[in-house]
Structures are given as C-alpha cells and as structure tokens.
Structure 1
C-alpha cells in the first residue's frame, strides 16, 4: 500500500499522463484503480483542488481593472504556488515565523553583521541572528558567509543539530531535509554535530560535506573553490552532480513550483546554468540531457528524465 508521500508524487505523474492521453480507456481504468487507495484519492483531490484555485486566480486577475490585475497576477500565483509547494514539495514555512531575515523567490540579500562579517542569503532562505553573539541560525535555504576571524570568539552557524565553526574563512551552508551541507571557498571550517554523534570534520578550500546528524553519518567530496557559492553571481556551476540536484538548485529561483520525476534524475551531469533565467536553464537541460519539460499551468512545471 502506498503512503501519503508516494501518492503525492504519483498524483503529479497521473496529471501528466491524463493530459497526454485523455481518450485512453486503459489509462483511465488504471487511474481509477490507483485512486481506490484512500491516501492516493486524498492526494489527487488536494492536487486537483490546487489546480482549480490556480485557474480561478488567473481568471480573477484577467477580469479585474488593469492596475488591480497586475497586482493579482503577481501576488496570487506566487501565493498559490507556495501553498502547492508546501503540500507536494515539502518546503517548510514554520521556520519563517522565527526568522530575523528572509528572502523570496529569486531574491538575494546581503547583510553586514556587527562584527564586520558578511552574509549573503540565497532565495527562499531564512536566518535568525542570536543577538550580539557571533552565532547565526540557518532556519531554511542557503547562505554564504564571509567571516571576520576572531580566534577568541569563534563564528558559528547552527542548523538543527549540526553546526559549522569558522576557522578564518568564506563558506557556504545549505540546510536540506536530511541535514546540513557545507562547502568551503577560503580558509577552513569545522563541521560537527552538537550531540557528538560524529567526530568533528575539518574542511579546507574545495572541500564539501553533507552532514546528517540524525542518522549519524556524513559524506564528503571536493570541487573547485571558485565554483563554491556561484549562485551569488547568478550562476549554477555543476560538476558531475545528479540531474535532480540541478533541478533542486533552480527551485528557489523559479517562479512557481518546479518538480523532478523519473529514474534519469540520478544521471550525473556537468554544466553552467543561468539562475536568473530559469526557463533558459531548463531549455539547456532539455537539449543537453534529454529531459522533458512540461508546464502544467503557468505556475507548475515538471521536469522528467527517464
């Protein structure tokens, strides 16, 4: 029996298939069999309801006077797509309540801290500043830190049970559902779990580590230091990474919901993508890697690779 998460993923696949083959009786019969499972029926109803809301929002915006329509055209699709993302993609909104600084889709912010350090916050990210102490909590998303070193007062970035301590450096921290990812451009960083389940890991320029404190494991790799935090320049530089990682990196910059499907998403790719023009990046992905890009509505895009 499928669980709720499986059904949510499959619901999007069924939406594509039913659009492509609306008159196929065999497809319709299989779809009805799939919906007999209560969790899958509930997932489909959620998806269909959100799609109807988006359609209604578009109709409402077009029916209003020009000035109002422009505002609705900007606000409603983004709000509804965000709700859809919360239902089907797992983006957590609760941490934003506790944040001191947040960013929206495609938005970056640069902060200068009291100690002279600088933080560049990536789109769809949130941080909390712990008063005068040299400590920042990354609640969601990604941030790039250029730290003013002070050996007597280390600079720390906390994310859940994981932490990164500055050893005189510039480094990127990204919070994922399964933990913390740290990449060092300059200097050094010490990555650790606060409960001590993993021995501290010292990272140098070009080092990256994915730290999962809940599971008690980590995975390390290397890349060119110049490629670290390339998003601060509006670029995504990918070297031998799964295609699903490319789609994930585009999401915070893409207006609406961007979903990835298919076994081909595990295929490793290399390339440079323009984050400020995600439609062009998706086109390049389609041409270079054989992905299929389907726009279900103006605010829902599904990338498939078999």
Structure 2
C-alpha cells in the first residue's frame, strides 16, 4: 500500500500544477469561481498548490502568512514523489516566466489566509497508514492527525467542533471564550477554551491526554475536568484517570514528532505500536521474544530499523514474505 501523504498525492499535485500554469497564462484565473471551488473542495489542495509553487522557485510570490508551523512527518517516498513531479513540470513552467504570477501575489495571499470552507460547512481531514500530518485551521488553532486517522472540523461563530471519526488527534487551541473548542463524536466530547490536548478514539473507547490548560470531559454517563499533565481512559465499562509520563518535547505527545519511547516495554506491545504505522504484520515466535523488554527512543515510521535493533539485541532470526514478517527466537 502506498503510504504517501494525501497532502501531496500525485493526482492533486497534477491538478495544482494545472492551476499554476493557468494562472500564469491568465492571472484573472486566481480569483475565478472554478479555481475557488477547487481550492475549497479539499484542504489538501491548498497544501499541494503552495508546495508545488515553492518547488518551482515561486515561493516569493506565493508565501502565505500563517503562524509558525511545527514540522510534520512524511515518508521519504513521498518527498521523492514531489521531486519527480517538479522535475516533470519545472521546464514548461520556467519557460513561461513568473511575471504574471508575481503580479497576482497580493491577491493570492488574501485568498489563502482564511484557509476555510464556507461558513457552516465541515472540512474532512484524513491521514493514511504511516502518515502524521499537521493542519492549520482558520481560527488560528492547529491539529495534528496520527496515522490512519479521520476528523471533520466545523468552525462557526458560536463554536468549533472536531468530530473524530477514527484514530488520534492533537489540538493546539487558540483561546476564544466565545467559541468553545471541542473534540469528540456523538454523546462524548472533550471541550477546552484554550489549551493543548490529544484525543484518541478506537470504536467506543476514548483516551484523553491534556498537555496545557484544562479540558472538560462530558458524556451521558461521565463528566470531569482534567488539567495539564493528566488524562483519562473512557470506555463503556467506566472511566480511569491517570498522570501523563514525561515527553521528549514539553507540551506535546511523542507521536506528533513521529517518535515513541519504550521503557521496559514488552516486545509484543512494542511491535503492536509499530504495526499501526505500517502494512506489515509481525509474528513473534518463541515465548522469550513475547516477553522480552525493550527500552529506547525509536522512529515510529521506521519499523525496519526497530526490527533490526531487536535482531541485534536478541539474536532472533528475521524473515519476511510480502507484508508478513516473522521474528523467531534462537
């Protein structure tokens, strides 16, 4: 399965390239209804358009003024795809020159700063398996989606709602007392006025981690307020509160930077964490491997490096057939 980020999907990059060429040939295209419709049809279109322009050396004309962004994780194969597209399309673009596009730069900046859908409409944000992506919202907040996650964001004058359909999200909320910010789905919600927190959903099971400020949990059966450094696991069977462990970077979970910390973690549990970021399935053969404890900091999107470390540490034999991987104890 291709794990490249939807934000730079080759089909969307091709569409973005087409719009860039049309704007160069006819600058009025920049404010046309068809272009605006394409822009707002999918949040990935903005990313593809600006990134493609930057690859072609048009950054000076296309810079969009947004708050400072933290880096997000993307695969090496994805970066290679971008270079391939730039290589294919760079020549005709540069042959036409950047004059018309540069002249339209002011209009482009004003068009892109909102980065939002028409009022009342929700925008769907998704990530593929192995992808961790950051998205900036029109209200000044931002969210980071973990691997294989999906969330719909609705921003109105009275509130801001993130409907988490699956997976995990970390939100950095811009304070606005008149527009509460909540993450949840159905009867479950986690609401804050200005804070940073992560919410994970697996079917009817929810997990809250608060990294800054306070968050109010509310459902038909449970409610509570949680402060920075605390969290809660909410399941149909009940609610469990806990304290958060120290993270590699203050104020955010480790997975947002694509890393995981194991501290005497059983190998079976560690492997399960990596499988969430890969199409590969790992089978551990031998009881000693199942209970072997691993410690250290690893890159979540690099299962191969982790397995090679295990081989070195345990002397296990590694074999692979397609997406099936076996680790067998000596």
Q: Which TM-score applies when normalising by structure 1?
A: 0.56
Report if aligned partners of 2:274, 2:301 keep a CA contact under 8 Å in 1: no
Matched, 1:217 2:239: yes
Q: Partner of 1:116: helix, strand, or coil? A: coil
CA 1:223–1:105 in 2, change beyond 3 Å: closer, same or farther? Answer: same
Mapping for residues 280-295 of structure 1, pairs under 5 Å: 280-288=305-313, 290=314, 295=319
Unaligned runs of 5+ in 1: 1-97
Report if aligned partners of 2:205, 2:234 keep a CA contact under 8 Å in 1: yes
CA 1:211–1:239 in 2, change beyond 3 Å: closer, same or farther? Answer: farther
Q: Counterparts of 2:276 and 2:123 in 1: how far apart (Å)? A: 17
Q: Counterparts of 1:272 and 1:134 in 2: how far apart (Å)? A: 35
Matched, 1:271 2:292: no
CA 1:176–1:285 in 2, change beyond 3 Å: closer, same or farther? Answer: farther
Residue in structure 2 matched with residue 248 of structure 1 by the alignment: 272
Q: Partner of 2:260: helix, strand, or coil? A: strand
**CA deviations over 1:57-80 (Å, ceiling 9, x no partner):** xxxxxxxxxxxxxxxxxxxxxxxx
Q: Partner of 2:194: helix, strand, or coil? A: coil
Residue in structure 1 matched with residue 139 of structure 2 by the alignment: 115
Q: Counterparts of 1:160 and 1:287 in 2: how far apart (Å)? A: 47
Q: Partner of 2:273: helix, strand, or coil? A: helix
Matched, 1:154 2:180: yes
Report if aligned partners of 1:257, 1:299 keep a CA contact under 8 Å in 2: yes
Residue in structure 1 matched with residue 215 of structure 2 by the alignment: 189
**CA deviations over 1:9-64 (Å, ceiling 9, x no partner):** xxxxxxxxxxxxxxxxxxxxxxxxxxxxxxxxxxxxxxxxxxxxxxxxxxxxxxxx
Q: Partner of 2:276: helix, strand, or coil? A: helix
1:118 positional shift: 0.3
Q: Counterparts of 2:188 and 2:272 in 1: how far apart (Å)? A: 21
Report if aligned partners of 2:146, 2:256 keep a CA contact under 8 Å in 1: yes
Q: Which TM-score applies when normalising by structure 2?
A: 0.52
Report if aligned partners of 2:212, 2:227 keep a CA contact under 8 Å in 1: no
Partner of residue 171 from structure 2, selected from 145, 150, 158: 145
1:180 positional shift: 1.2
1:284 positional shift: 2.5
CA RMSD for the aligned pairs?
A: 3.4
In the comparison of the two structures, how many residue pairs are matched? 205
1:232 positional shift: 2.2
1:115 positional shift: 1.1
Residue in structure 2 matched with residue 237 of structure 1 by the alignment: 261
Residue in structure 2 matched with residue 67 of structure 1 by the alignment: none
**CA deviations over 1:210-265 (Å, ceiling 9, x no partner):** 211x2123242321144542222221123455544432321232243346788765
